Homo-oligomer: A and B are copies of this chain.
Amino acid sequence: MDTPAFARLPEPPYYAVIFSSQRTEGDDGYDAMAERMVELAAAQPGFLGIESTRDTQGFGITVAYFDTTESIAAWKANAEHRQAQAMGHRSWYEHFELRIARVERAYSKTSRGQPR
């Protein structure tokens, strides 16, 4: 099965930025920004992968993976990303939670297949 939604990551350890958010109503430029941020994140040094989903109620979780906390700090400080963060605070999100975590173990499974 083609599973483009899943990040293919190296063996741990690495770092996860876990971002959960409740969208406000209306697009207001959000979709284009979200697409651009994924593109921009993927171009950052130390970026490893990203997984993202949002339900019909506007509640979403995005997990971006990086090699080190230094790479995460650099991504946070990226100028274009900072503009998007400001718009997120101001307009796009009712509420969000951001958690930085060190991934220590990982497992994977494809149905009726072997673990990778």
Contacts and interface: CB of A to CB of B under 8 A. Distances in A.
Interface of A: 1, 3, 5-7, 12, 16, 18, 20, 22, 24, 51-57, 59-61, 63, 69, 89-91, 93-111
A111 B97 CA distance: 12
Contact of A59 (B53, B59, B96): B53
As for how many copies of this chain the complex holds, the number is: 2
A1 B95 contact: yes
Given A12-B99, A16-B16, A16-B18, 18 more contacts: A5-B57, A6-B20, A18-B63, A18-B101, A53-B60, A56-B56, A61-B63, A90-B111, A91-B111, A94-B111, A95-B108, A95-B111, A96-B109, A98-B107, A99-B106, A99-B107, A100-B103, A101-B101
